[in-house]
Amino acid sequence: MFDALSLAPEDPILGLAAAFNRDPSPAKINLAQGIYLDETGRTPTLACVRRAEELLLQAAPPKTYLPIDGSAKFNDAVADFVLGPALRAQLGPRVAVVQTPGGTGAVRLAAEIVHLLHGGATAWISNPTWPNHPNICRAAGLKPAEYRYFDAQTKRRDLDAVLATLATAARGDTVLLHGCCHNPTGDDPSESEWRTLLTAVQQRGLVPLFDSAYQGLARGPDLDAFPIRLAAEMGLSFLAAVSFSKNLGLYGERVGALLLVGADAEGVRRALSQAKAVVRTAWSSPSAHGARIAETVMTHAELRPLWLGELETMRLRLVQMRQDLVRLMTERGFGSAFAPLAEQHGMFALTELSGERARWLRQEHKLYLIESGRINVAGLNPRNQTAVADLFARALALG
Ligand SMILES: Cc1ncc(COP(=O)(O)O)c(C=O)c1O
């Protein structure tokens, strides 16, 4: 029966992760996958998470179903984390939160709601972007289209190009915006550019859909929420998908949320009811354990500061690895190609190590990166960074 199906393409990122895991070489280096690695090359379970799990083990909450929209305590803590307590209080019933399976579940749910609002609308997506974005939008019945975001020549964002494309968008189209730590470029709009961008979105009557998978890893948790908070302050109605995979290290626990922010309580009530109807037919209710960890950490008087300290340690390590790589590549004569990395944010950077160079690095030297040239800066550490820089220089010299 299944012969009637064609073979679906493997996910380019997860496929490489699997190949890395299969590779027996002790010298292998993983700059491919989108996970945080510490200076020892491991993905840590945060101390705040371990402490929260100890508390949960003692409390032994029942393993019954959560409500369709998830844990109220979790959703409450998420609204405060993303919007800040003051703005959140000011918005009152103009905000609703739905717990989702990771950020992916939140983006999918958001796309489903946009489809309910404006069936078959175009979803304007950054080029380049996380490869799952167009697929999710298509799966939800939207038409993916690209806005040019990055200038490969200058290796920086091109806001004029974004604005020029959005000027052609139709009212009711959605525009997918990376909240911070743009994936794959790491190049985020400045605060004044966000104001310009969101003003254009507002004037054209577009539906803003934020994807915020890295809050805390660019400039810190409050500054990283700037565009979402600005959108709320400007009176925009919008959707914001949030992930706790990276900033709490809860990847496999699948902890995320969708924020619905509207013009009034009635609109948000309707949106929430539709979101719950979608959830009921998709995953019925979200999983409990990861959300309980997250809500415990976010609301506990000692665990919250412990978390924020650990998050800052991760952030500062990414900054350090960026600065080190720029220095090492400058010493090897590739300063101008790598200089923007020091001003960009988060785990990812888009390099010229694409295509043939990426394949050469992987096949000949067990250095894994995505063929687009995206590297995960968190894969660098004091032990491997010189070897990586040497290999990068050799790959770039290949021509
Ligand atoms: C931009 C972006 N959005 C969403 C996600 C998905 O997050 P999650 O793993 O929580 O589903 C990722 C993960 O890599 C991402 O980079």
Q: Which atom of ligand 1 lies closest to the CA of 211?
A: 3
Are 162 and 197 within one domain? yes
**How many domains does the chain contain in total?**
2
Residue ranges making up the domain that contains 322: 11-45+315-397
Tell me if residue 124 is catalytic: no
What's 31's domain CATH number?
Answer: 3.90.1150.10
User: What pLDDT, in 10s, does the model give residues 186-227?
Assistant: 999 999 999 999 999 999 999 999 999 999 999 999 999 999
Are 192 and 110 within one domain? yes
Are 86 and 221 within one domain? yes
Which of these, 354, 396, 399, 348, lies nearest to 373 by C-alpha position? Answer: 354
Alpha carbons 389 and 41: distance in angstroms, whole number: 17
User: What pLDDT, in 10s, does the model give residues 107-149?
Assistant: 999 999 999 999 989 999 999 999 999 999 999 999 999 999 9
Which percentage of the chain shows pLDDT scores above 90? 95
Alpha carbons 372 and 70: distance in angstroms, whole number: 37
Is 56 inside a domain boundary?
no
Active-site residue identified among 187, 188, 211, 324: 211
Tell me if residue 130 is catalytic: yes
Are 255 and 144 within one domain? yes
What's 268's domain CATH number?
Answer: 3.40.640.10
Beta carbons within 8 Å of 329's beta carbon, 6+ residues apart: 335, 337, 338, 389, 392, 393
Is 126 inside a domain boundary?
yes
Is 156 inside a domain boundary?
yes
Single out the residue in 271, 299, 327 at which a domain terminates.
299
Are 111 and 86 within one domain? yes
User: What pLDDT, in 10s, does the model give residues 328-379?
Assistant: 999 999 999 999 999 999 999 999 999 999 999 999 999 999 999 999 999 9
Q: Which residues line ligand 1 (CB under 6 A)?
A: 34, 102-104, 107, 130, 178, 183, 211, 213, 243, 245, 256
- Centre of ligand 1 from the C-alpha of residue 104, in Å: 6
Is 6 inside a domain boundary?
no
- Written as six digits, the tokens of 145 are 């289209």
- Centre of ligand 1 from the C-alpha of residue 216, in Å: 14
Tell me if residue 360 is catalytic: no
Are 294 and 324 within one domain? no
Alpha carbons 95 and 75: distance in angstroms, whole number: 11
